[in-house]
Structure 1
Amino acid sequence: MHERDGNLRDALQDYARRVPEHAAVADGFLRLLEEGGDDPFQRSRLAGHFTGSAWLVSADGRRVLLTHHRKLDRWLQLGGHADGDRDLAAVALREAEEESGLPGLRLESPALFDLDRHWIPERGQVPGHWHYDARYVVRAGTDEGFIVGEESLDLAWREIAAIAADPQADASLRRMALRWQAATR
């Protein structure tokens, strides 16, 4: 185990305590972190690897910036591969900056906001594999003029309350919207 993995281990254990209904998910992330073999922070580990994502909220906390993901053709939070970076909060912030073009973004907290393990289907030469996605709250500044990058078909600010109320919304987006509403009441 890498010496810097202790921070992630602590964050996963803290998350399991704060979000007991998600403790089994956190345990799966801990197992990935602690098992030997290929580096789980590299996308080349096709048995599953870590990714970092941003729940990118507006300055007033009422909206979230979502991407219409080019490869998956779904509306999702911003995020991407760790590519060797063991600080998944830094990965989430970097991906939010790169994918939105927004200036003045800041990590709201180093604490995990959400965890999600999801299947990524085969694409080209890359077989299907699992993403172990660690999600963090990132707060936008006053400039909301995003730039649509090459990884997105589009970007859009969406009302968090509308996502939370929509039973047809992506399950993990709805879960995060409901969690955000509960935390900000």
Structure 2
Amino acid sequence: MLQTHTPRDSTEAAHLKTALDFVASNPLCSSRSNLAGHVTASAWILSPDGKSALLTHHKKLNRWLQLGGHTDDADTSIQAAAAREAREESGMTDLRLLSDALFDVDVHPIPARGSEPAHYHYDLRFSFQAQHVDFNVSEESHALAWVPLATLAAEDGNASVARMARKSLGVSGFADVATVK
């Protein structure tokens, strides 16, 4: 899946290369026991009209992000992990996966917390569409909110969310498209 993904800009191309290298050199790449980092799964959830995305104000990171998290042994695929995380964090049970293909790839540092050392998340992101706008806020979040894609696309403080918003809006040429070899 990573090998066939086409990044949309040079930043995502760099994340993709880093993720490919990590997965190739770490047999336990999705295990939380891997202290260097692990593959995670995220859900980029679009509103029924496709004009907004659902974000969580994440408690641990204190940032507005897409929904997602760690894979579990019971997950049958990385897409299933993203869907499970979305259900757990939003209470939405009827999300529609828009494509089995990756929507976005991001690699980001996670700060040390308690006994867990600082590490990286190699985040594989999939696009979903909600069938309604009602949600429940889980204990992992301060809040959830539908945010217009146009607002997110212009966001300077969160480049990865802005990149996904621009992809959803179909903005072409928003950055240089790089080829990963």
Q: TM-score range by the shorter chain?
A: 0.7 to 0.9
Aligned counterpart for 2:22 among listed residues 32, 57, 65:
32
What's 1:166 paired with?
155
Alignment pair present for 1:61 and 2:53: no
Q: Secondary structure at the residue paired with 1:176?
A: helix
Supply the AA of the counterpart residue of 1:175.
R
Alignment pair present for 1:175 and 2:163: yes
Q: TM-score, normalised by structure 1?
A: 0.85
Instruction: Report 1:1-185 matches (<5 A).
Output: 11-16=1-6, 19=8, 21=10, 22-37=12-27, 39-84=28-73, 85=75, 87-141=77-131, 143-167=132-156, 169-182=157-170
Greater RCO (Cα-Cα under 8 Å, separation 6 or more): 2
Identity of aligned residues (%): 48
Offset at 1:104?
Answer: 1.1
Supply the AA of the counterpart residue of 2:80.
A
Supply the AA of the counterpart residue of 1:47.
A
Runs (5+) with no aligned partner, structure 1: 1-10
| Inter-partner Cα distance in structure 2 for 1:25 and 1:172 | 11
| Inter-partner Cα distance in structure 1 for 2:124 and 2:26 | 20
| Inter-partner Cα distance in structure 2 for 1:99 and 1:90 | 14
Offset at 1:24?
Answer: 3.2
Q: How many residues align?
A: 170
> Pairwise CA RMSD of aligned residues?
1.8
Going by fraction, where is helix more abundant, 1 or 2?
Answer: 1
| Inter-partner Cα distance in structure 2 for 1:94 and 1:144 | 18
Alpha-carbon spacing, 1:159–1:40, altered in 2? closer, same or farther (3 Å)? same
What's 2:176 paired with?
none
| Inter-partner Cα distance in structure 2 for 1:69 and 1:114 | 19
Runs (5+) with no aligned partner, structure 2: 173-181
User: In the alignment, is the contact (CA less than 8 A) between 1:57 and 1:64 conserved in 2?
Assistant: yes
| Inter-partner Cα distance in structure 1 for 2:17 and 2:94 | 34
- Partner deviation per Cα, 1:60-115 (whole Å, 9 max, x = no partner): 11010000001011100000001344721111111111100013111110111111
